[in-house]
Structure 1
Amino acid sequence: MLENAIDKLSLVIDDILIAEHEQDIATIMLAANETLVAEQFALLIEALPQDKRLSVWATYPEETQRAAFVDMGQGTRTSLIQALSDEECFDLLAQLDVDDVIEIAEEIPSRLLKYAIKSLDDSQRKLYQQAQQFSVDEVGHWLDYNYVRISEKLKITSAQLLLQKGLSPYTEDFYAVNKEGVLTGTVDINSLIQSDGENTLKTLFSPEIIKLNGHDELTAAAEAVILSGKMSLPVVDENDHFLGRFTVETAYQVKQETQTEQINSAAGLTTDEDLFSSVRTSAKNRGIWLGINLLTAFLASWFIGFFEATLQQVVALAVLMPVVASMGGVSGSQTLTVIVRGMALGQITEQNRKVLLRKELKVGGLNGIIWSVVIGAITYFWFDSAELSLVIALAILLNLLTASASGVMIPAILNKLNIDPALSGSVILTTVTDIVGFVVFLGLGSLLLL
Structure 2
Amino acid sequence: MTLDILSDYIEKLEQHLAEELSLDLLIGELAEQLQPEQIAILLEAFPIKSRLIVWELLPSDCQKDVFLEMKNESRQMLLNVLSDDACYLLLDKLDASSLLDFTDDLSDRFVEYAVAQMTAKQREHFKAAQDYKDDEVGHWQTFNAKQIPQQIKVSAAKKLCSKSLPQLTETVYVTDSQSKLVGEIAINRLLSLDDDALLVDVINHDIQFLQASSDMDEAAEIVIMSGKSALPIVDDNGRLMGRLDLFSAFKHQEEERDNQLMQSAGLVEEEDLFASVWLSSKNRAIWLGINLITAFLASWFIGLFEATLQQVVALAVLMPVVASMGGISGSQTLTLIIRGLALGQITDANKKAIINKELKVGAINGILWALVIGIITYFWFESPMLSFTICIAILGNIIVASLSGVWVPWVLNKLNIDPALSGSVILTTVTDIFGFIAFLGCGTLFLL
Partner of 1:307: 305
- Give the Cα–Cα distance (whole angstroms) in 1 for the partners of residues 267 and 215 of structure 2: 24
Q: Report the AA paired with residue 276 of structure 1.
A: F
> Contact (CA 8 Å) 2:182, 2:205: kept in 1 or not?
no
Correspondences of 1:90-239 after superposition (within 5 Å) = 90-239=88-237
Determine if the alignment matches structure 1 residue 14 to structure 2 residue 11. Answer: yes
User: How far 1:66 moved relative to its partner?
Assistant: 1.6
CA distance in 2, matches of 1:95, 1:122: 11
Q: Are the structure 2 counterparts of residues 22 and 206 from structure 1 closer, same or farther at C-alpha, using a change threshold of 3 Å?
A: farther
- Is the contact between residue 31 and residue 62 of structure 2 (CA under 8 Å) also seen in structure 1? no
Find the counterpart in structure 1 of residue 342 from structure 2. Answer: none
The residue that corresponds to 1:282 in the other structure is: 280
State whether structure 2 residue 250 is matched by structure 1 residue 252.
Answer: yes
Runs of 4+, deviation exceeding 6 Å: none
Alignment of 1:382-401 (within 5 A): none
Q: Residues 410-447 of structure 1, C-alpha deviation per residue, up to 9 Å, x if partnerless?
A: xxxxxxxxxxxxxxxx9xxx9xxxxxxxxxxxxxxxxx
Report the equivalent of 1:264: 262
Counterpart of 1:273 (choices 271, 274, 296) is: 271
CA distance in 2: counterparts of 1:89 and 1:307, whole angstroms: 62
Tell me, yes or no, if structure 1 residue 58 matches structure 2 residue 33. no
Equivalent position SS for 2:49: helix
Amino acid at match of 1:162: L
1:42-64 CA deviation, whole Å, 9 max, x = no partner? 11121111111111112222332
Match of 1:446 in 2: none
Q: Distance in 1 between matches of 2:113 and 2:32?
A: 33
Match of 1:36 among 26, 34, 53: 34
Moved more, 213-222 or 20-29: 20-29
Q: 1:66·1:95 contact (CA, 8 Å) conserved in 2?
A: no
Q: Alignment partner of 1:165: what SS?
A: coil
Higher relative contact order (CA 8 A, sep 6+): 2
Deviation at 1:146? 2.1
Task: Supply the distance in 2 between the matched residues of 1:147 and 1:61 (Cα, whole angstroms).
Answer: 32
In structure 2, what residue type is equivalent to 1:6? L
1:362-381 aligned within 5 A:
none
Structure 1: gaps (5+ residues):
330-425, 431-450
Whether the 8 Å contact between 1:26 and 1:56 is mirrored in structure 2 is: no
Matched, 1:69 2:74: no
Structure 1 residue 17: Cα displacement: 1.7
1:142 alignment partner AA: W
Please give the secondary structure, in 1, of the residue aligned with 2:244: strand
Q: Percent identity?
A: 41
C-alpha separation in 2, matches of 1:29 and 1:214: 42
Counterpart secondary structure, 2:243? strand
What amino acid does structure 2 have at the position aligned with 1:17? Answer: E
Q: Give the corresponding residue for 1:292.
A: 290
Counterpart-to-counterpart distance in 1, 2:89 and 2:11: 30
Structure 1 segment 324-339 matched on structure 2, within 5 A: none
User: Post-superposition shift, 1:297?
Assistant: 1.2
- SS of match in other structure, 2:257: helix
TM-score (norm 1): 0.68
Scaled by the length of structure 2, what TM-score is found?
0.68
CA distance in structure 1 between the partners assigned to 2:60 and 2:97 by the alignment: 17
Q: Which one-letter code corresponds to 1:194 in the other structure?
A: S
Q: Which amino acid aligns with 1:71?
A: E
Q: Which runs of 5+ in 2 are unaligned?
A: 328-423, 429-448
Counterpart of 2:197 in 1: which secondary structure? coil
Deviations 1:161-203 (A, max 9, x none): 2233232211111111111111111111111011123111112
Residue pairs, 1:353-432, within 5 angstroms: none
Match of 2:8, as an amino acid? L
Number of residue pairs the alignment of both structures matches: 323
Determine the C-alpha separation between the residues in 2 that align with 1:274 and 1:121. Answer: 33
Report the alpha carbon displacement of residue 220 of structure 1 after superposing the two structures with TM: 0.6
Q: Distance in 1 between matches of 2:307 and 2:181?
A: 76
Deviations 1:254-305 (A, max 9, x none): 1111111110111011113221111110011101111111121111111212
Per the TM alignment, residue 16 of structure 1 is displaced from its structure 2 partner at its CA by 1.4
1:15 deviation in Å?
Answer: 1.5
For 2:162 and 2:311, the matched residues in 1 are separated by 89
Q: Supply the AA of the counterpart residue of 1:268.
A: G
The alpha-carbon distance between structure 1 residues 33 and 178, as it changes in their structure 2 partners (threshold 3 A), is: same
- For 1:274, the aligned partner's letter is D
**Structure 1 residues 16-62: Cα deviation after superposition (integer angstroms, max 9, x where no partner):** 12223776222221221232233201111211111111111122223
Distance 1:313 1:33, change over 3 A: closer
Determine if contact 1:233/1:247 at 8 Å carries over to the other structure: yes
Whole-Å separation in 2 of the counterparts to 1:166 and 1:119:
24
Cα distance in 2 for partners of 1:56, 1:289 equals 34
Which residue of 10, 20, 24 maps to 1:26? 24
User: Deviation of residue 207 (structure 1)?
Assistant: 4.1
Q: 2: distance between equivalents of 1:98 and 1:295? A: 44
How far residue 222 of structure 1 moved from its aligned partner, in angstroms, is 0.5
CA deviation profile, 1:192-244 (whole Å, cap 9, x unmatched): 01112311111221141101111001111111101111111110111101101
- Give the conservation status (yes or no) of the 8 Å contact 2:149–2:174: yes
